[in-house]
């Protein structure tokens, strides 16, 4: 089962996704994309770590998500990726040695072959004002394009608003 969980900031998407993974009864892997680059982000990371204490195995990977998913995959596991929009931001600022398109394709290529349950968490950023700066517009575009591609291949897509999950897509795994 591969699920994409979308929502705005503070929508409850992370708590929803974490509980879904815990409910599987499998070993839970938290694949974190955030980097602690300032005090505010460090506090956010610590809040998330506190919620997962003692239950989750945490793997931190800010850039090479496809490779990290392959490396943690096993049928008795569930993997929560938190979050794709931070990952896109990391890729955009990584510099010339890292290609956003190559890393997106690596992620999309690895997902169908995974044996673990996977939950991908991402911010829905395309419902606001069109950003003024070129980099901000590219960020919104890249997130939107990635969400569309993921929605096609995921078994389930859930939108979380005000802590309430709305199922946008639900099909049996592997049924196309």
Instruction: Show which residues are catalytic.
Output: 48
d(CA 147, CA 122): 8
| Cβ atoms 139, 89 nearer than 8 A | yes
Of 82, 68, 86, give the one whose Cα is nearest residue 14: 82
Task: Centre a 10 Å sphere on the Cβ of residue 132 and count the other Cβ atoms it contains.
Answer: 7
Report how far apart, in Å, the C-alpha atoms of 73 and of each of 19, 69, 121, 123, 171 are: 19, 6, 17, 24, 22
Measured CA to CA, the distance from residue 109 to residue 57 in angstroms comes to 24
């Amino acid at each position: 089962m591969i699920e994409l969980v979308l929502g705005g900031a503070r929508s409850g998407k992370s708590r929803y996704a974490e509980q879904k993974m815990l409910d599987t009864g499998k070993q839970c892997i938290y694949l974190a994309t955030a980097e602690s680059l300032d005090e505010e982000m460090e506090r956010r990371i610590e809040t998330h770590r506190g919620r997962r204490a003692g239950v989750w195995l945490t793997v931190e990977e800010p850039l090479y998500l496809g490779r990290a998913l392959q490396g943690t995959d096993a049928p008795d596991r569930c993997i929560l990726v938190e979050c794709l929009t931070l990952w896109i931001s990391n890729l955009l600022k990584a510099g010339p040695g890292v290609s956003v398109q190559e890393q997106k394709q690596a992620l999309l290529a690895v997902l169908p072959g995974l044996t673990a349950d996977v939950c991908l968490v991402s911010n829905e950023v395309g419902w606001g004002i069109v950003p003024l700066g070129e980099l901000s517009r590219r960020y919104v575009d890249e997130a939107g394009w990635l969400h569309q591609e993921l929605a096609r291949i995921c078994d389930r897509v859930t939108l979380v608003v005000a802590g309430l999950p709305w199922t946008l897509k639900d099909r049996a795994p592997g049924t196309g």
